[in-house]
Amino acid sequence: NPAIADASVQDAHTIVLTGKGFGVTNLVVLDKSGSPIVDAQVVVSRGDADSVRIYRRLDVQTLSCTPYCESAYKNTAEKTSETELNASH
């Protein structure tokens, strides 16, 4: 998910991941024949000291609280929840 992390290939042995927004995405690296050699989950968040995690059933949201709690990326469930909350007020 490019809203969460960006990957750039530096050379044959180096991939640089840059966090762009809070959330979870995956990294898949393929060999020359197209077979996966890496299939890993990537979690982008700030240091735990200044963060809050919100658990909603299977979804986890990490907020950066420096100084105010905010999320840089909202998944579909978060967007739906926010829409429903705003509609009820």
The DSSP secondary structure of 31-63, one letter per residue, reads: -TTS-EEEEEEEEE---GGGEEEEEETTEEEEE
d(CA 43, CA 45): 6
Residue 45 and residue 64 in contact, taking contact as beta carbons nearer than 8 Å:
yes
User: pLDDT per residue over 4-63, tens digit each?
Assistant: 889 999 888 888 888 888 888 999 999 999 999 999 998 887 666 677 777 777 777 777
Residue 85 is given by DSSP the state H
Whole-model pTM above 0.75?
A: no
Amino acid 72: pLDDT: 58
Partners of residue 79 on adjacent β-strands: none
Report the pLDDT averaged over residues 57-76.
Answer: 73
Classify 71 as helix, strand or coil.
coil
d(CA 41, CA 43): 7
